[in-house]
Amino acid sequence: MASTVNLAVEISGIRFKNPVLTASGTFGYGLEFAQFFDISRLGGFCTKGLSLLPMPGNPPGRIVETPAGMLNAIGLENVGIDCFIREKLPLIEHYDTHVIANILGKSVDEFAELARRLDPFPKISGLELNISCPNIKEGGIQFGHNPTMASQVVTAVKRATTKPVWVKLSPNVTDITVVARACQEAGADALTLVNTFVGMSIDVNKRRPMLSNVTGGLSGPAIRPLAVRLVYQVARAVKGIPLVGIGGIMCARDALEFIIAGATAVQVGTANFTDPLAALKVIDGLEEFCRKQGISDIRELIGSISDCEG
Amino acid sequence: MNDTTNDRVATRYSVGALRIERLAGTDWRHHTIRVWSQYGDCGALAAGGVARYSSPMPHAVEAELVENKQLPQDNYLLTFRAPSISSETLPGQFVMAAPKTHQVVPSPLLKRPLAVYSVHGPLLTVLIKAIGEGTARLGLMRPGQIANLIGPLGNGFDLTAGRGKINFLIAGGVGIASVYLLAQKLKQQGDETHLLYGARTAADLILLDDFQALDVPVVPATDDGSCGFRGFVTAALGDYMRGYDISLLNFYACGPEPMLKAVSAFACAQHIPCQVSVEARMACGFGVCLGCSVKTKDGYRLACSDGPVFQASELIWDKS
C-alpha cells in the first residue's frame, strides 16, 4: 500500500515543499531552467550571486573539466541587484518555489545594502551570503576565512533585513567549525556547506594554467566526500542551526548522505549542467527511497547517522 | 515589431507580440528570453508567421543513433533520430551531446557542444572530430545506442545578410560542420554561395561532395599544398575574391581561432559584412554556467546563448 511521504522541511522559518534546492551559479536566475521543467517543483533555488553593480566576470578560460568534476573561475559575472529586481524578479514571481537571493559584497556595508534593497520583495524568501567565492580578489572569501569578519557581515545583514539569513561557507579553511560558530553567534539563521574547493589545472603543452584566473573552484562529484565530512563535522560541533548541504550531489543517494550527516536540505549544483533535470530526479529519488524504507517523513533522516565509536 | 527593443534582437529575430515588451529596455545580453523563428526569416514573421518565444526553447531528449559514418582523420558523422530538435534547428545552431550512461557519474561529466551539420526530417547529423575523451566516446557510439541531446542551442547565422549577395563560406577544419546547413539555406533562398575550405592536409578536407552536390563551388586550401591552394584559407580568400565586386560580398566563417581572427580582420578592413561562429569550452550550453565568455566590444558575452555566431566587427581577439 503506497503511503504518502512527507518531504517538506522547514529552515529558518521557510517551509520548503521538499528539501531540494538548486545552487547559486548553476541555475541562473531560475528562468533558464523553466524551459526544461516546471521549476515550481523545486523546494527552492538560489540565484546567481548578486552584487550592487553589474560585474563583468573573468576573461575567457573560465572553466575546465577535471576528473568527476570541473573547475570554474567565472568571477561572479552577474547583472547587478538593480537589473535583477527590475528584470528577473518579475518573471520568477509566479513560480511556486522559494527564491533564495545569493548576495555578494566587497565590504560589510555592501552586504548590508544588498540586503536592504531586497527586503521589500516578498518573493525573496531568504538571503544567502556568499562569503566564500574563491575567484575574486575583493570581498567574498576574505570574509569567509576570518571568523571576526564573517561575524561582522552577518551582524550587519541581520540588522538590514527582515528575511532569514543563510551563510555559504568556504571549505578552504583550517577549521570550518570556527567560522560556522562565529556566524551562528552573529545571528545567522542557517549555514550552507560548502562552496567550491580551490583547485588548479595546467595545460601541459602550453605550460600555463587552464584558467585565466590561474586557480578556480572545484565542484562536482569529486568533492562530495569532502563536503559530506564537513557537514557531518559542523552538525556535531555546532548545534541549533540548520545546515544546507551541497557538494557534488548527482542523485538522491548523494543527497541522502548529506541529510543523514545532518543537513536539513540540500543544493544541487554542477549536476544541473550534466542533466538539466538532475534536481527533479533527486526529488523523485528521495521520495522513492523513503517509500521503500517505510519512512513517512524525511525529517526522520536528518542527522540520523549512527556513529560507530571506537 | 517593437522598435524600442534592442536593435540587434529586433533585426535578427524580428521580435513581435507579448514577450517583446519584456525584452524592451532590458539588458538583453543577460536576458534568457529570446525570440526566434523556425523560418529564420524576418519577412515571414513580419507578415504574421508563427514565432517561437522564450529562448531558443531547447529540448532535452534521448536520441537514438541511426548512423555513425566514419570519415578520415578521426572524424565521424553521427546521425540521430531527434525530431523535436531537428525540426527547429537553424543554420549555425548547436546541440550539447553525450552518450547515455547508467553511471551516476558520467565520464566525462559534461556534455560536448557540437554544431548541427544537417537535418533531414526527424534526423539530425553532427560532425565530430575525436580529440578528447568526450568526443572520442561519441565517436565510438554504435547505431541503436542512445545519446542525451539538448538543443537546438545558440543563435545561428543571419541568413537575411546573405540575401542578394555573393556569399563566401569560409571554413577551417572541423568548422565545416557549421556551414553546410547554411549553404543549403542560402541556395534555397537563391543566393550565390561559395565555399573556401582550409585544412592542414588533403585528408582533412572532408565532406566536399556534399557541397558540390549543392552546386556550391569549393575552393580548397591546405597548409602543405596537398590539395588546392597552398597556404592558409585566408590567403586563398584574398586570391579568390579578385574579380568579384567587393560591395556584393558577404562572409560567414567558422574554424580555429587564428583563422577567425584573420578573416575578421580582413573583412573589417575591406568593409565586408562577416559573421563568425566561435568555439568555447562550456559546461551547460544554455547560458547558466557563464563559462563560455567571449570578449566583445560590448563586454563579455556568452558563446552559447549570445553566440556562437557573432558579427566579426564586434569581437575582440586576444593577441596571444
The pLDDT assigned to A143 comes to 83
Q: Could you tell me if B61 and B149 are in contact, meaning their C-beta atoms sit under 8 angstroms apart?
A: yes
> H helices within chain A, ranges in order?
31-34, 81-83, 89-92, 108-118, 141-144, 147-160, 176-185, 224-237, 252-261, 271-274, 278-293
Q: Which residues of A touch B32 (CB under 8 A)?
A: 28-29, 31-32
The pLDDT mean for chain B works out to: 82
Contacts of A22 in chain B (CB under 8 A): none
Chain B contact for A275 (CB, 8 A cutoff): yes
What per-residue confidence (pLDDT) applies to B12?
Answer: 32
Optimal mutation site among B95, B102, B288, B297, interface A, most CBs of chain A within 10 A? B288
pLDDT digit string, tens, across residues B4-50: 333 333 323 333 332 332 333 333 333 333 344 333 332 222 222 22
Determine the Cα–Cα distance for residues B75 and B139; give it in Å rounded to an integer. Answer: 8
Report chain A residues whose CB lies below 8 A from the CB of B281. Answer: 62-65
DSSP label at A30?
S
Per-residue model confidence (pLDDT) at position A2: 52
Residues 6+ apart with CB under 8 A from B115: B92, B93, B94, B126, B127, B177, B178, B254, B277, B308
CA separation for the pair A305, A297 (Å, rounded): 16
Give, in degrees to the nearest 5, the angle at Cα B98 between B92 and B103: 165
* Interchain CB contact of A3 with B (< 8 Å): no
Q: How are beta strands B166-172 and B249-254 bridged, if at all?
A: parallel
User: What confidence score (pLDDT) does residue A144 get?
Assistant: 82
Select from A36, A56, A87 the Cβ nearest to the Cβ of B60. Answer: A36
Per-residue pLDDT of chain A (310 residues; tens, 9 = 90+): 456 899 999 999 999 999 999 999 999 998 889 889 999 999 999 999 999 999 999 999 999 999 999 999 999 999 999 999 999 999 999 899 999 999 999 899 999 999 999 999 999 999 999 997 666 655 566 788 889 999 999 999 999 999 999 999 999 999 999 999 999 999 999 999 999 999 999 999 999 999 999 999 999 999 999 999 999 999 999 999 999 999 999 999 999 999 999 999 999 999 999 999 999 999 999 999 999 999 999 999 999 999 765 4
Does B243 score more than 90 pLDDT? no
Cβ neighbours around A215 below 10 Å, total:
15
Catalytic residue positions of A? 133
ipTM: 0.92
**Contact call for B289 and A69, based on CB within 8 A:** no
* CB A270, CB A26: distance < 8 Å: yes
CA dihedral A247, A248, A253, A256 (to 10 degrees): 10
Option in A28, A56, A62 nearest B32 (CB): A28
**Which domains are present in chain A?**
9-301 (3.20.20.70)
B111 min Cα distance to partner chain A (Å): 6
pLDDT band at B209 (very low <50, low <70, confident <90, very high): very high
Taking phi first (over 0 means left), then psi (-120 to 50 degrees means alpha), and beta for anything else, what does residue A139 get?
left
Name B296's bridge partners. Answer: B299, B315
pLDDT over 70, % of chain B = 82
Per-residue confidence at B191, pLDDT binned at 50, 70, 90? Answer: very high
% of chain B with per-residue pLDDT over 90: 72
3 state DSSP class of A11? strand
Q: Which residue of A has its CA nearest to B24?
A: A87
SS (H, E, C) B56-124: CCCEEEEEEEEEEEEECCCEEEEEEECHHHHCCCCCCCEEEEEECCCCCCCCCCCCEEEEEEEEECCEE
Residues 6+ away with beta carbon under 8 Å from B307: B154, B155, B277, B278, B294, B301
CB pairs under 8 A between A and B: 116
